[in-house]
Structure 1
Amino acid sequence: MMKKPETSKDAADKLVKNIRRKTRQTYSAEEKIRIVLAGLRGEESISVLCRREGIAESLYYSWSKEFLEAGKRRLSGDTARQATSLEVKDLRSEALALKECVADLTLENRLLKKSMTGAGEAQE
């Protein structure tokens, strides 16, 4: 398989694509909410809002849809959410501590039963 030689136009296109990828702006959840709420207020048109914020209208509408669906789920009582890795770590350590406590109590209970029955005969 012979690879065709890369032309200067292909190299330029690849360079421009990499620059765009690295300079793509990411928006925090707070910024997305601010933009969506500004659009929902209706003080200015969505196209003007998107032009001012530097986003595509399709991106605004997808954020708006996600925002409204999340509100709908919350109002309907579906409050399940993804746990953060810190929460998962804390829950795992708490579960381990509880398992150790149960093991200690079980061992202590068995020892007490053996001491009550005398020579270690099992009577349950």
Structure 2
Amino acid sequence: MLEGLRGEENISELCRREGIAASMYYGWSKEFLEAGKRRLAGDTARAATSGEVKDLRRETVALKEAVADLTLENRLLKNSMNGLYR
């Protein structure tokens, strides 16, 4: 695609060589250019990679476990305090 955007090669020849339809090439180039415009305008949002998603899921599980542990400790401390003052 970059070769076509640079004008290094005729688009129809490039598509024939790569075995893709010209409509697919033009769709990709449009998406590429739109993403570039958004990035230059300050829109840095992007889709997370599968590795990032897996890492975030592991972190979420660890945080939920930490919250559960702290909640249990808190309940035990409250119960022990209530027992001392009765």
TM-score, length basis structure 2: 0.66
Deviation at 1:68, TM superposition (A): 0.8
- The reply to whether residue 98 of structure 1 matches residue 63 of structure 2 is yes
- How much has 1:103 moved relative to structure 2? 2.0
- Unaligned 5+ runs, structure 1: 1-35
User: 1:119 aligned to 2:79?
Assistant: no
Q: Higher relative contact order by CA 8 Å / sep ≥ 6: 1 or 2?
A: 2
Question: 2:16 aligned to 46, 51, 59, which one?
Answer: 51
Structure 1 segments of 4 or more deviating over 6 A?
none
Q: Is the 8 A contact 1:114 1:120 kept in 2?
A: no
Residues paired across the two proteins, number? 86
User: Which ranges in structure 2 are unaligned for 5 or more consecutive residues?
Assistant: none
**TM-score, scaled to structure 1:** 0.51
Bigger helix share: 2
Q: Which moved more, 1:91-100 or 1:108-117?
A: 108-117
CA change 1:46–1:85 in 2 (3 A) is closer
Max radius of gyration: which structure? 1
* 1-structure distance, mates of 2:36, 2:68: 44
Cα RMSD between the aligned structures?
2.7
